[in-house]
Amino acid sequence: QAVVTQEPSLTVSPGGTVTLTCASSTGAVTSGHYPYWFQQKPGQAPRTLIYDASSKHSWTPARFSGSLLGGKAALTLSGAQPEDEADYYCLLSFSGWVFGGGTKLTVL
């Protein structure tokens, strides 16, 4: 069973830029893993931000972008806002779904 690894915590200043990453124990993350990124705020169910590595939904703020970078999936937040403080999870598809451990993002 693959293990998917994310940074446990990151801090970004308001207006700043931060990149969260998602790595696989089996090797490079590719588009074939159909990477998802979710945002979860306390007491809420997760919300999809990015799918298929870089595709956005209509509700995804423009300041979020997804990519494949250096063998990992990446979520970049450019121009952080206080409301972006949340937990972020990636999801990769192998023969089944595997979630990353999540990144707690602090905007401070």
Q: Give the residues lining the site for another protein (CB under 8 A).
A: 1, 36, 38, 45-48, 51-52, 55, 57, 87, 89, 91, 95-102
CB of 41 to another protein, least distance (A): 13
Closest to another protein by CB, 16 vs 101, is: 101
In sequence order, what are the residues at sequence separation of 6 or more whose Cβ sits closer than 8 angstroms to the Cβ of residue 8? Answer: 101, 102, 103, 104
- Find the Cα–Cα–Cα–Cα dihedral 70, 29, 26, 4, rounded to 10°: 100
Closest to another protein by CB, 20 vs 79, is: 20
**CB of 19 within 8 A of CB of 10?**
no
CB of 26 to another protein, least distance (A): 16
